[in-house]
Amino acid sequence: MRFLLALALAVPGAPGGGDPYFPDQGNGGYDAGHYDLVLDYNPSSNALTGALTLTARSTQDLSAFDLDLVDTLAVRSVTVDGAAAAFSQKGQELVVTPAAALANGQDFTVAVRYDGKPTHVLDPDGSRDGWIRTSDGVFNANEPQGAMTWYPGNHHMTDKATYRFTVTVPDDRVAVANGDLTSKRSGGGRTTFVWDAREPMASYLTTVSIGKFQLTDAKIGNYRTIVAVDPKLAGKATAFAQRHAPILDYFSSLFGPYPFSSTGGIVDHEPNVGYALETQTRPIYPSVPGEGTLSHELAHQWFGDSVTPTRWKDIWLNEGFATYAEWLWLDRTGAKPLQTSFDTAYAQPADFWEMPPGDPGSGAAIFDDPVYDRGAMTLHVLRRTVGDAAFFTILRTWTSEHRYGNADTQAFVALSQRIAGRDLSALFTTWLYKPGKPAL
Ligand code: ARG
Ligand code: ZN
């Protein structure tokens, strides 16, 4: 009786996750648990064939639900719990209607077969993101919206999941993804790489990057360090790999334990991309990074990857924190005193101070300078106000209380006040939300 009632009341899940900057991103009605993604890619023709098996749980009585996937990729079949499901594609929404409605709280498996020639998207800030082709493969970076250009999913930052990527490419190419390389097998001129990302991950942090990479995999210090470098940088892989452990050790001492089972990086040769990205466990770089960029992307593993904002508006929780960590590392190595980094940022001209970093205003501004520099200055001012002991307790509590989860600015302000034992609303309001240059 209850079951029949549930089916009668089942309604479609929301087509968007409700983020004001990217409203279509993500979908309602279910929680993703694990993505098992099998890809076959031909770099010379850009032909991609994909098979996704996603395990999920419904969060309402569900008659239909969406996955995000651009409609330039063609979906060939969809099943839910093994039974053929009806589906349609429009824009970035793949609408799936299972043969039988799902009851609230039901575990289910959706399998999607698709293929096509993926392309990147253009972000509101003019950058490319998603499946970015290179001369020998793909530079795959997905913040904020590229994931929908190559696989279907619930592409909202709050729906974290574990992943397995099984990627087949020609023998002269390497496919690198997040997590641990768990198998590699060749046959018939093609090689299949299996990568397991066992800690929860937001989909904007996934990557499957492909190229004629030189791949090294070694335990360095406390970390399994898997590095892929473009052949133009041959010979630099070992030195690059060795730069990770000292930074991660230092950050672990300040921020708490490194959250993931492996580290490393993907150093491609694609200077026109114009940015690096903190893809989980294994950031991607368009060229060999300097110490600033390397430490920035590694700091994101705590701030952004393990602890992820709940909405794009709070992006300073990623970029301000990673920038401050970068300042700390440059200070530690003697490259630049922390106070010099702060003073240089504080000396920026009037127009820099117009945008408050806690409220970028639109998706076009989420990576603007104030989000990074004024965000970092906010942390420095917080540290000067509450003292070193309270400040680093705040950071370590933040990374432990929200490990593998999501949190917003309000939660950070509340935590800071709790640990400092005082009202800090004026500080945060001035630095995060008021246009204009704060006095010191
Ligand atoms: N999160 C990246 C960083 O570490 C920047 C990503 C920029 N992406 C973009 N589409 N503009 O700074
Ligand atoms: Zn960053």
Question: How far from 283 is each of 13, 144, 180, CA to CA, in Å?
Answer: 33, 15, 14
User: Which residues, listed in sequence order, are joined to residue 54 by a DSSP beta bridge?
Assistant: 35, 110
Residues 224/231, Cβ–Cβ less than 8 Å: no
Q: Is the pLDDT of residue 177 over 70?
A: yes
The CB of 367 under 6 Å from ligand 1? The reply is yes
Both 195 and 99 in a single domain? yes
CATH value at residue 30: 2.60.40.1730
Residues 314/408, Cβ–Cβ less than 8 Å: yes
Both 320 and 221 in a single domain? no
* Strands 161-170, 190-201: pairing kind: antiparallel
Both 394 and 302 in a single domain? no
Rounded distance between C-alpha atoms, residue 305 and residue 379, angstroms: 19
Q: Is the pLDDT of residue 233 over 90?
A: no
Percentage of the chain beyond pLDDT 70 is: 98
Among candidate residues 112, 119, 113, the one with its CA nearest the CA of residue 46 = 119
Pocket probe mutation, ligand 1, options 131, 367, 369, 373, max atoms within 8 Å of Cβ: 367
> Residue 7: its pLDDT value, please?
61
Pocket probe mutation, ligand 1, options 25, 272, 275, max atoms within 8 Å of Cβ: 275
Both 164 and 249 in a single domain? no
Give the pLDDT band of residue 9 (cuts 50, 70, 90). Answer: confident
Domain assignment of residue 439, yes or no: no
The atom number, within ligand 1, closest to the CA of 146 reads: 10
For ligand 1, atom 11, the nearest C-alpha belongs to: 127
| Mean pLDDT estimate for the chain | 97
Both 339 and 362 in a single domain? yes
Domain assignment of residue 440, yes or no: no
Among candidate residues 332, 368, 364, 336, the one with its CA nearest the CA of residue 352 = 368
Domain assignment of residue 49, yes or no: yes
Q: What is the pLDDT of residues 405-419, one digit of tens each?
A: 999 999 999 999 999
Largest Cα–Cα distance in the chain? Answer: 71
Q: Is the pLDDT of residue 3 over 60?
A: no
The CB of 204 under 6 Å from ligand 1? The reply is no
- Region 302-319: what's the mean pLDDT? 99
Hey, what amino acid is at 439?
A
> Residue 188: its pLDDT value, please?
97
250 compared with 271, residue with greater pLDDT: 250
Q: Is the pLDDT of residue 8 over 80?
A: no
Both 344 and 419 in a single domain? yes
Both 283 and 381 in a single domain? no
Tell me how many domains the chain contains: 3
Q: Nearest bound ligand to CA 326?
A: 2
Residue ending a domain, choose from 273, 306, 339: 306
The CB of 305 under 6 Å from ligand 1? The reply is no
User: Which residues, listed in sequence order, are joined to residue 170 by a DSSP beta bridge?
Assistant: 190
Sheet containing 223-229: which strands, arranged edge to edge?
214-220, 223-229, 263-267, 284-285
Residues 43/35, Cβ–Cβ less than 8 Å: no
177 compared with 232, residue with greater pLDDT: 177
Domain assignment of residue 172, yes or no: yes
Q: Nearest bound ligand to CA 205?
A: 1
Rounded distance between C-alpha atoms, residue 342 and residue 94, angstroms: 46
- Region 365-394: what's the mean pLDDT? 98
Among candidate residues 373, 277, 388, the one with its CA nearest the CA of residue 324 = 373
Domain assignment of residue 257, yes or no: yes
User: Which residues, listed in sequence order, are joined to residue 175 by a DSSP beta bridge?
Assistant: 210
Both 69 and 104 in a single domain? yes
Give the pLDDT band of residue 1 (cuts 50, 70, 90). Answer: very low
DSSP 20: S
Both 203 and 80 in a single domain? yes
The CB of 400 under 6 Å from ligand 1? The reply is no
Rounded distance between C-alpha atoms, residue 394 and residue 33, angstroms: 30
Both 101 and 227 in a single domain? no
CATH value at residue 323: 1.10.390.10
Residue ending a domain, choose from 163, 189, 210: 210
Rounded distance between C-alpha atoms, residue 143 and residue 322, angstroms: 15
Both 177 and 230 in a single domain? no
Give the pLDDT band of residue 225 (cuts 50, 70, 90). Answer: very high
Domain assignment of residue 438, yes or no: no
Task: For residue 265, give its domain range.
Answer: 213-306
The CB of 123 under 6 Å from ligand 1? The reply is yes
Both 4 and 100 in a single domain? yes
Question: How far from 50 is each of 22, 112, 286, CA to CA, in Å?
Answer: 25, 8, 26
Residues 324/318, Cβ–Cβ less than 8 Å: no
Span of 11-15, 148-152, 207-211, 270-274 with lowest mean pLDDT: 270-274
Residue ending a domain, choose from 258, 287, 306: 306
Residues 302/326, Cβ–Cβ less than 8 Å: no
Assign residue 189 a region (left: φ > 0; alpha: ψ between -120 and 50; beta: otherwise). left
Q: Tokens 């050790």, residue?
A: 249
Domain assignment of residue 202, yes or no: yes
CA dihedral of 77, 80, 84, 90, whole degrees rounded to 10: -50
